[in-house]
Chain A
Amino acid sequence: DAGVTQSPTHLIKTRGQQVTLRCSPKSGHDTVSWYQQALGQGPQFIFQYYEEEERQRGNFPDRFSGHQFPNYSSELNVNALLLGDSALYLCASSFENNEKLFFGSGTQLSVL
């Protein structure tokens, strides 16, 4: 049983570019959450998707958007990249309202 998988593992972009990160949830999970983790800090909640809709959102600008597909996989899109967007982006899946999240290993995004 595969856990949460994220792609790519590493990514380098330049300021102003756009990026798309992908996540496949753990088998049987229907809820996907995205977190941003800057170096030395705890993960910060970006948003959560359930039934293909954004259900909750953290304090992130509209440049951060997402999507969930019918197979529960999800994408995180970031437009107009800033240097400060450099971070580890983590995807976590869960089943409905269960608080036990399963995290992927993340995508390390570097913005130059």
Chain B
Amino acid sequence: LAKTTQPISMDSYEGQEVNITCSHNNIATNDYITWYQQFPSQGPRFIIQGYKTKVTNEVASLFIPADRKSSTLSLPRVSLSDTAVYYCLVGEQMEYGNKLVFGAGTILRVKS
């Protein structure tokens, strides 16, 4: 089981770019890296997923080095509404379906 390690919290200001790095030293060959965002009293929301190199969507970018032992979620020009908990997950690939294991996540606080 690939365990993930993230910073407990980060502070930023509106308009800045935020980079949250996640370590997953024991990632398996078939595992994907997925990031979720969670606001208080809501369920987590899928942000982005990748396997290697770089993935970009309308919300964020995900950078994954060649050894895949870490990944970095990049949020461009954050706003106050980006204040949330961000989870890095490595999917445990099973024969039938996947069991995603959440860590404690990173609390991002965006200030004005």
Taking beta carbons and an 8 Å cutoff, which residues of A are in contact with B? 4, 31, 33, 35, 40-45, 48, 50, 55-56, 58, 88, 90-92, 96-97, 99-106, 108
Contact = CB atoms under 8 A, between A and B. Distances in A.
Nearest to A49: B97
A78 B82 CA distance: 34
A99 B46 CA distance: 10
Interface in B36-88: 36, 41-46, 49, 85, 87
B51 to A, nearest CB: 11
Given A56-B99, A97-B98, A103 B104 contact: no
Contact of B42 (A48, A56, A106): A106
Given A42-B103, A45-B101, A58-B99, A99 B91 contact: yes
